[in-house]
């Protein structure tokens, strides 16, 4: 049996190829993929050949935000049957290292993660028509949830984990800097957690419109009117919590200025080294914490999407068939017109 795959050979060198797919083994399922979201890491691989020290060193199938329909199951699979529609958790921790044993599986020392060039050989991803996965990776969805919605579970899980790093948000005032896919889903997660006020910032009006649809009470285009944030910085700051999702030095500086003393900043966006106003951070006793991927939050994300407790449909800007992958990546890179771009596959 053959499957089409979306394989990257180098910057801007993406090819739709065919390869054999095996029948599912013990504890495995064969999933016909229907939808797959293009993530920021996919864009970095496509445009730059990697990000930071992580480089593409061999051809790699991209994609880790995927959902589809179960075609077949292997031996000893329980609770999953052919015809089930599922979101696929791209994380495969070893379960045996000291971090897995301590309940920190997102920090697994031998983590396998779809479409990642961190390890060599690379971990091949989910942008393909057919994929053999572990049954434990599957989270079922109901008949009213589209595969496109289910494919947003992975980035939403990232945001749920980030919100968990901040402590309770009920009744709190929240700032979200950067309204890309992670930023707008963080807005949604914060709203679901009961935040009383959510201010989102970005450089693009299109992204801010989606942030409002996801629950932002106010948006600020910092390219046109950064002065609108000035009142929030008065008297040592206003916000209880800030989620910095842009990985831009000016945004982090703004967050430090706008968060109140003993407030919390969760750094969600990933980049290299950034300058940091340490005196202000120390003087205001601000808690600056990181956040990395997710664990149990993936199942929670699927439940929230499936129940429409968080409606992710406004995040999905456009979908392209697999054979138009080049156009899809170009659209995904244009933040003036896209938030989340997805590929569709034979299972859609």
**How would you label 206-226 residue by residue, b for 16+ Cβ within 10 Å and e otherwise?**
ebbbbbbbbbbbebbbbeeee
pTM score of the predicted model = 0.97
Burial class of residue 104, CB neighbours in 10 A (0-12, 13-18, 19+): middle
Q: What is the mean pLDDT of the chain?
A: 96
Q: How far apart are CA 28 and CA 77, in angstroms?
A: 7
| Tokens coding 219 | 């948006």
CB atoms within 10 A of CB 118: 14
The pLDDT-based confidence of 279 (bands split at 50, 70, 90) is very high
Residues near 346 by Cβ (< 8 Å), separated by ≥ 6? 4, 32, 33, 129
The pLDDT-based confidence of 262 (bands split at 50, 70, 90) is very high
Q: How far apart are CA 205 and CA 203, in angstroms?
A: 7
- Closest of 129, 200, 29 to residue 209, by C-alpha: 200
Q: What is the mean pLDDT of residues 59-86?
A: 98
Please give the sequence-ordered ranges of beta strands (E in DSSP) within 97-151, or none if there are none: 112-113, 130-134, 138-140
Q: Give the HSE-up count for residue 118: Cα atoms under 13 Å, Cβ half-sphere.
A: 10
- φ, ψ dihedrals at 13, nearest 5°: -115, 85
Q: How far apart are CA 329 and CA 43, in angstroms?
A: 7
Using alpha carbons, list the distances in angstroms from residue 171 to 101, 239, 266: 35, 11, 18
The pLDDT-based confidence of 149 (bands split at 50, 70, 90) is very high
For residue 341, pLDDT over 80 is answered with yes
> Which residue segments constitute the domains of the chain, with CATH numbers given?
2-152+312-344 (3.90.180.10), 157-290 (3.40.50.720)
In the numeric block, the tokens 């028509």 are attached to: 129
Greatest Cα-to-Cα distance within the chain, rounded to the nearest angstrom:
66
Q: What is the per-residue pLDDT for 52?
A: 80
For residue 158, pLDDT over 90 is answered with yes
The pLDDT-based confidence of 51 (bands split at 50, 70, 90) is confident
Q: What is the per-residue pLDDT for 301?
A: 98
Are 324 and 344 in contact, with CB atoms under 8 Å apart? no
Q: Could you say which DSSP state residue 313 is in?
A: G
For residue 56, pLDDT over 90 is answered with yes
The pLDDT tens digits of the residues spanning 81-125 come to 999 999 999 999 999 999 999 999 999 999 999 999 999 999 999
State percent of the chain over pLDDT 70.
Answer: 99
The pLDDT-based confidence of 344 (bands split at 50, 70, 90) is very high
Pairing of strands 173-177, 60-61: unpaired
The pLDDT-based confidence of 272 (bands split at 50, 70, 90) is confident
The pLDDT-based confidence of 299 (bands split at 50, 70, 90) is very high
Q: What is the mean pLDDT of residues 123-134?
A: 98
Q: Would you say the C-alpha torsion 8, 13, 14, 19 has a positive or negative sign?
A: negative
For residue 348, pLDDT over 80 is answered with no
For residue 140, pLDDT over 90 is answered with yes
User: 167-176, 187-196, 217-226: lowest mean pLDDT where?
Assistant: 217-226
Q: What is the per-residue pLDDT for 229?
A: 95
Q: What is the per-residue pLDDT for 37?
A: 98
* Residue 121 preceded by cis peptide, ω within 30: yes
Are 157 and 106 in contact, with CB atoms under 8 Å apart? no
Burial class of residue 58, CB neighbours in 10 A (0-12, 13-18, 19+): exposed
**How would you label 20-40 residue by residue, b for 16+ Cβ within 10 Å and e otherwise?**
ebeebeeebbbbbbbbbbbbb
């Amino acid at each position: 049996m053959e499957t089409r795959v979306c394989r990257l050979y180098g910057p801007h060198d993406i090819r739709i190829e065919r390869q054999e797919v095996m029948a599912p083994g013990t504890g495995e399922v064969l999933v016909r993929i229907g939808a797959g979201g293009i993530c920021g890491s996919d864009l970095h691989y496509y445009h730059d050949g990697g990000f930071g020290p992580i480089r593409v060193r061999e051809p790699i199938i991209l994609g880790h935000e995927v959902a589809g329909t179960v075609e077949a199951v292997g031996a000893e699979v329980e609770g999953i049957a052919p015809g089930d529609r599922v979101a696929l958790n791209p994380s495969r921790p070893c379960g045996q290292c000291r971090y897995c044993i301590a309940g920190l599986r997102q920090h697994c020392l031998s983590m396998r993660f779809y479409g990642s060039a961190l390890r060599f050989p690379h971990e091949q991803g989910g942008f393909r028509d057919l994929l053999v996965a572990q049954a434990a990776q599957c989270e079922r969805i109901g008949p009213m949830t589209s595969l496109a919605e289910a494919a947003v579970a992975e980035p939403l899980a990232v945001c749920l984990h980030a919100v968990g790093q901040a402590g309770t948000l009920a009744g709190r005032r929240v700032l979200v800097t950067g309204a890309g896919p992670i930023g707008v889903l963080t807005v949604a997660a914060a709203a679901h957690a009961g935040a009383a006020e959510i201010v989102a910032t970005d450089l693009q009006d299109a992204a801010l419109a989606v942030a409002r649809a996801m629950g932002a009470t106010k948006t600020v285009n910092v390219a046109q009117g950064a002065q609108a944030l000035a009142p929030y910085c008065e008297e040592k700051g206003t916000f209880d919590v800030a989620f910095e999702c842009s990985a831009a030095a000016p945004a982090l500086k703004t967050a430090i200025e706008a968060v109140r003393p003993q407030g919390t900043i969760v750094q969600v966006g990933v980049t290299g080294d950034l300058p940091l106003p340490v005196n202000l951070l120390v003087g205001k006793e601000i808690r600056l914490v990181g956040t990395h991927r997710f664990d149990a939050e993936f199942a929670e994300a699927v439940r929230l999407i499936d129940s429409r407790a968080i409606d992710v449909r406004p995040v999905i800007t456009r979908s392209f068939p697999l054979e138009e992958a080049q156009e899809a990546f170009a659209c995904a890179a244009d933040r003036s017109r896209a938030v989340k771009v997805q590929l569709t596959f034979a299972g859609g």
